Chain A
Amino acid sequence: EPEVTQTPSHQVTQMGQEVILRCVPISNHLYFYWYRQILGQKVEFLVSFYNNEISEKSEIFDDQFSVERPDGSNFTLKIRSTKLEDSAMYFCASIAGKNTEAFFGQGTRLTVV
């Protein structure tokens, strides 16, 4: 069964450092997303990406965040200068088309110290 894969599974970084979270969406999917979940809270939308550009972003997704699809398979989330409050589980998701289920990766646990 096709799946979304994320690496690394866990990343510890010092405050102010840059991190790149990587995702390989399902190959024939067209829409890509990043979500995050702070411990004990709900899953929150960060950004959506379609046709090689951002289609929507939340207020969380400020200038410190960026996304890229550098080739036909990878989808990355970069945080330029991490803050303590960026500590969370980050989930990548993809969908094949409108009104279809989103498939999520296993997540990257980001810990900023």
Chain B
Amino acid sequence: DQQVKQNSPSLSVQEGRISILNCDYTNSMFDYFLWYKKYPAEGPTFLISISSIKDKNEDGRFTVFLNKSAKHLSLHIVPSQPGDSAVYFCAASAGAQKLVFGQGTRLTINP
């Protein structure tokens, strides 16, 4: 039951360029979407979120886009920095219910 999918297990981007991470979901009850960054042996760190009433949210170098009709969201990081190298998880929830996570995308920023 993969309600949240990240189809790219890995992504490699050159430093300074844009990183685009994608996520698809199937449950139309989801109304809140989040991106987390995770290093090995650490807990997920919140990056940015978006409510289903919006289609874009921006915070510094990070922008999340939501396309409700396509049930798709994406995270843009620009410019990408070496410290951005980590595993990125997309997550979705309905109200205060559990977060449903995607499988993660390992982002590597090359100098």
Residues on A facing B (Cβ under 8 Å) = 4, 6, 31, 33, 35, 41-45, 48, 50, 55-56, 58, 89, 91, 93, 95, 97-99, 101-107, 109
Contacts and interface: CB of A to CB of B under 8 A. Distances in A.
A89 B41 contact: yes
A104 B51 CA distance: 20
B42 A106 contact: yes
B44 interface: yes
A43 B46 contact: no
Interface stretch (B21-29, B61-69, B71-79, B100-108): B100-108
A95 B104 CA distance: 22
A102 B99 CA distance: 8
Contact of A56 (B32, B41, B97): B97
B103 to A, nearest CB: 5
> Which residue, of A41, A43, A105, has the highest number of chain B Cβ atoms within 10 A?
A43
Given A42-B102, A45-B98, A104-B43, 6 more contacts: A50-B96, A55-B97, A56-B97, A101-B49, A102-B99, A107-B41
Contacts of B51: 99
Interface of B: 31-32, 34, 36, 41-46, 49, 51, 89, 91, 93, 95-104
Contacts of B103: 41-42
Given A42-B104, A99-B31, A102-B34, A107 B42 contact: yes
Given A89-B41, A104-B43, A105-B43, A42 B96 contact: no
Nearest to A98: B96
Contacts of B89: 42-43
Contacts of A109: 41
Contacts of B43: 4, 6, 91, 93, 104-107
> Which residue, of B34, B41, B42, B96, has the highest number of chain A Cβ atoms within 10 A?
B96
B34 A101 contact: yes
